[in-house]
Amino acid sequence: MPINIHHFERCKQQGKPIVALTAWEFSSAQVLDQCGVDLLLVGDSLAMVALGYTSTLPITLDEILHHAKAVRRAVTQAFLVVDLPFLSYQESPQQAMHSAGRALKEAEAQAVKLEGGHTEIVQTVRYLVQMGVPVMGHIGLTPQSVNQVGGYRKQGTDAESQSRLLNEAKALEEAGAFSIVLEHMPPELAQQISRTLAIPTIGIGAGPHCDGQVLVTHDLLGLSEWRPPFARAYANLRETMTDAVKRFSDDVRERRFPG
Ligand code: KIV
């Protein structure tokens, strides 16, 4: 049975950790889906990791949707979430609805993810949910705010920002978000937020106490040239790929391929 939104509240109630990964293209999305990953996110990290932009800011909704459609064609079981990129939802709730609507119609996404937890974003989340769009929140390190924050720093490192993040999480839940990504914050804060909320938290660089964990798939596979300190590589595909390409090149140059 394909996963629907109720799966996540059941996981939280039953204390079953949620597995989430990013997906950007057909073949690897098929593998992730067949491995039984609960939630696949067409994250805007795609901008930096797969498209080579220097931040997530330049990627457009059209670019994200191009990838999301390929992932949709691959996925039969996992719950599909699409990131709304910078400037596709910040102007107004109506702009957000238009962008989210495109994700749901064109890529058949089951939900969208928005960054931030301040008042305007909470209002937008409430509007989307009222209009029938499931929303995942994202607080802590929010890469779309890199220019305002001045880097990709850990968030919630002092009492004031900890209390702000806790309040943002509560406000997003109250506005109807079905889940919230907690990125790069102290584990104790993520634990407090996870205990306070009835909806599941999905952590990335937020310690072991979240209700689920998400990683950028390229980081998990060891394919990225750089990965954040909190990511764990479960393979070294960069090395495997380099070795395969070198052996192929040698075989071609030595006329060993084709045999
Ligand atoms: O864009 C992305 O990949 C994300 C995850 C890091 C949660 O937002």
For residue 175, the domain's CATH number is 3.20.20.60
What pLDDT is attached to residue 145?
97
Has residue 229 been placed in a domain? Answer: yes
72 φψ region: left (φ > 0), alpha (ψ -120 to 50), beta (else): alpha
Q: What is the average pLDDT across 142-161? A: 96
Has residue 203 been placed in a domain? Answer: yes
The whole-chain average pLDDT of the chain stands at 98
pLDDT tens sequence across 97-121: 999 999 999 999 999 999 999 999 9
Q: What is the average pLDDT across 193-216? A: 98
Count of domains forming the chain: 1
Pair 230, 204: CB distance under 8 Å: yes
Q: What is the average pLDDT across 157-177? A: 98
Has residue 1 been placed in a domain? Answer: no
The helix (H) or strand (E) run that includes residue 173 is: helix 159-175
Domain that holds residue 248: 6-253
Has residue 85 been placed in a domain? Answer: yes
Task: Tell how far the Cα of 22 is from the centroid of ligand 1, in angstroms.
Answer: 7
What pLDDT is attached to residue 114?
98
What pLDDT is attached to residue 44?
98
Is any atom of ligand 1 closer than 6 Å to the C-beta of 214?
A: yes
Has residue 233 been placed in a domain? Answer: yes
| 60: its two tokens | 């457009």
Tell me which residues are annotated as active site. 183
pLDDT tens sequence across 35-75: 999 999 999 999 999 999 999 999 999 999 999 999 999 99
Residues whose CB is less than 8 angstroms from the CB of residue 254 and which lie 6 or more positions away in sequence, other chains included? none
The residue to mutate among 18, 19, 21, 22, having the most atoms of ligand 1 within 8 angstroms of its beta carbon, is: 22
Is any atom of ligand 1 closer than 6 Å to the C-beta of 213?
A: no
Has residue 36 been placed in a domain? Answer: yes
The residue to mutate among 19, 21, 83, having the most atoms of ligand 1 within 8 angstroms of its beta carbon, is: 83
Task: Tell how far the Cα of 13 is from the centroid of ligand 1, in angstroms.
Answer: 24
Has residue 133 been placed in a domain? Answer: yes
User: Sorting pLDDT into bands at 50, 70 and 90, what band is 213?
Assistant: very high
The helix (H) or strand (E) run that includes residue 238 is: helix 237-253
What pLDDT is attached to residue 223?
96
Task: Tell how far the Cα of 56 is from the centroid of ligand 1, in angstroms.
Answer: 10
Has residue 258 been placed in a domain? Answer: no
Q: What is the average pLDDT across 184-198? A: 98
User: Sorting pLDDT into bands at 50, 70 and 90, what band is 218?
Assistant: very high
Say which residue the tokens 């060993």 belong to.
256
